[in-house]
Structure 1
């Protein structure tokens, strides 16, 4: 719950009759007494009439922020305020939406500043994210790097590190940034007026002292005993170059092991064959100490790549990985040297890795 409160002050006038034993009834005088009624409510998240998230403010506060009153909250004392930021804006209001328009010019940048000093992270939820795809085929040289975000890209600043540059189709995914004291910048850029550019992202701010705050350094954070983690631009059909980040999965209460399986795993030019450990050098995912259900014979690895997710021979069969190593994480390392000896289409689709947590610490 936010520590910032909206305050409404209503003035109510009462008539008070002053009575005196020395005065007759006809000489009674009415006096006016003003009483202030103060209504306080927290600036919580609310649902607007448009179906998006808003923040509960007084009507005057919402207007001062440049927002729109889209429904009521706080038992009718507040309004659900919807705010939208466009190119060149600076925002310090929670649950602001950064949305594209046909009049945008490159680069389109906004700044996100902390609401209070108690903000540690900025979360971006991509309700819509559809810009130009990366270069996925050598068009002039057999040694030209692929999967680069050349014609359009999205970049963001984060405190104490570097967020990967992304492009393509990332609708439904998210990104968590460490909040900077000097504000975080969010930037879309493109090289042509014909470039595809459509985005609508919710920007929320995460306080330092809430129990549900993701660990520092997690670019994506997943909760629940089951779920699926996707590489960026999985929807576009090719993974992106120069990606180094960590997907974190919260260990749910009472659970202490986790299984990973993949319906689609393709993070190099190799198809229909998995690679493990030291075989993975350029592009790979990191799942600490993962192996079979009993971790038999010490068969467990950290690096996984190739065309199938597996942990042992035959590496032409997809297998489920298990681990009891905390914290539960899927690290991503994709370098910038996707090349082939002939100008053919890039075969690195990316990955969709599903997870399931178990209460048993001895693994299923």
Structure 2
């Protein structure tokens, strides 16, 4: 469990808690990065940077908990963070960029050598007058790291998962490519996902190749008319922006008795996580490890933000039937 990981880290590294703000440096295993006027709003800033350094060569990840995080929204049409953004980078590692409202979210970020500083750079545009942030940054040793490829890791038997900037009057961010992982609990063999509420899944397919009627309720299993090589939605081939939840693989018998196994993926986009006729919406998977893939590319054109809210799902692990 993540909590026990943190307790171990506290004992091992004699934890010190530091609060830091703009243009400061932290060499500490737990750092709270806050806006200069926290807990009040900060106004009139154009940038804010923080430099972090590893406390030990055994540190291989950072865990960032966005306790409070309220920056300007992305471009409403494209989802790109333009005026405001939070950017985390380290050496040659992948860079993380987010904006909008992300209170309650968390991420794990791989860090490399002792020599490379870890930099948080915040660009703050002129359109947003006030911001608020409190980010808890925990240095995680190798033995406690999240599994490879998991930007987010949830450890409870049940919980709520949201894409970044899932908020009233928000829209999902562009250029997001990551996996959400759920740690398998003891004696649990499958997992169920259900939308948080009726309209908690809104992801435009974001493709220039297929013209999709905005009034059509599309889910993972709806069919499109087979014209001009249009592919059925459950194949996912027309979904440029999509959520991927691995499904239960089945052997497919093709011509010549050829067998293809372990090829099954369920790809979701449109206005419903499930096919329109499935009520209530409920997706169950026993594929281990439990993962959800988030794939939001660069917008191919101006799109309605109402059709790009993103995803909020409740998950609950299910006991094994021995």
Normalised to the residue count of structure 1, the TM-score between the two structures is 0.67
Offset of residue 129 of structure 1: 0.5
2:142 equivalent in structure 1: 208
Asked if the contact 2:85/2:122 (under 8 Å) is kept, the reply is yes
SS in 2 for 1:209: helix
1:266 equivalent in structure 2: 202
Asked if the contact 1:160/1:178 (under 8 Å) is kept, the reply is no
Q: In the alignment, which of 231, 241, 246 is matched to residue 288 of structure 1?
A: 246
Offset of residue 98 of structure 1: 0.5
Check 1:149–1:290 CA distance in 2 against 1; reply closer, same or farther (3 A cut): farther
Asked if 1:43 is matched to 2:14, the reply is yes
Which structure 2 segments of 5+ residues have no match? 1-7, 37-41, 206-213, 221-233, 250-261
For residues 10 and 158 of structure 2, what CA distance do their matches in structure 1 show?
Answer: 33
Instruction: Show CA shifts across 1:314-353 (max 9, x none).
Output: 557552111111111111001111535xx85552111111
For residues 184 and 129 of structure 1, what CA distance do their matches in structure 2 show?
Answer: 20
Check 1:322–1:193 CA distance in 2 against 1; reply closer, same or farther (3 A cut): closer
Offset of residue 133 of structure 1: 0.6
Higher CA-based Rg: 1
Report which structure shows greater RCO (CA 8 Å, sep ≥6): 2
1:337 equivalent in structure 2: 299
Offset of residue 161 of structure 1: 4.5
Q: In the alignment, which of 188, 191, 196 is matched to residue 125 of structure 2?
A: 191
Q: In the alignment, which of 106, 113, 132 is matched to residue 72 of structure 2?
A: 132
For residues 109 and 305 of structure 2, what CA distance do their matches in structure 1 show?
Answer: 33
For residues 335 and 2 of structure 1, what CA distance do their matches in structure 2 show?
Answer: 36
For residues 71 and 287 of structure 2, what CA distance do their matches in structure 1 show?
Answer: 37
SS in 1 for 2:239: coil
For residues 160 and 91 of structure 1, what CA distance do their matches in structure 2 show?
Answer: 20
Check 1:330–1:219 CA distance in 2 against 1; reply closer, same or farther (3 A cut): same
1:85 equivalent in structure 2: 20
Offset of residue 165 of structure 1: 1.6
For residues 3 and 230 of structure 1, what CA distance do their matches in structure 2 show?
Answer: 29
Q: In the alignment, which of 168, 171, 174 is matched to residue 100 of structure 2?
A: 168
Check 1:344–1:116 CA distance in 2 against 1; reply closer, same or farther (3 A cut): closer
2:309 equivalent in structure 1: 349
Offset of residue 356 of structure 1: 1.1
Check 1:206–1:240 CA distance in 2 against 1; reply closer, same or farther (3 A cut): same
SS in 2 for 1:188: strand
2:30 equivalent in structure 1: 95
Which structure 1 segments of 5+ residues have no match? 6-41, 45-54, 56-81, 138-145, 292-297
Structure number with the higher strand fraction is 1
Check 1:189–1:318 CA distance in 2 against 1; reply closer, same or farther (3 A cut): farther
Instruction: Show CA shifts across 1:258-281 (max 9, x none).
Output: 111113111116563213332442
Check 1:356–1:4 CA distance in 2 against 1; reply closer, same or farther (3 A cut): closer
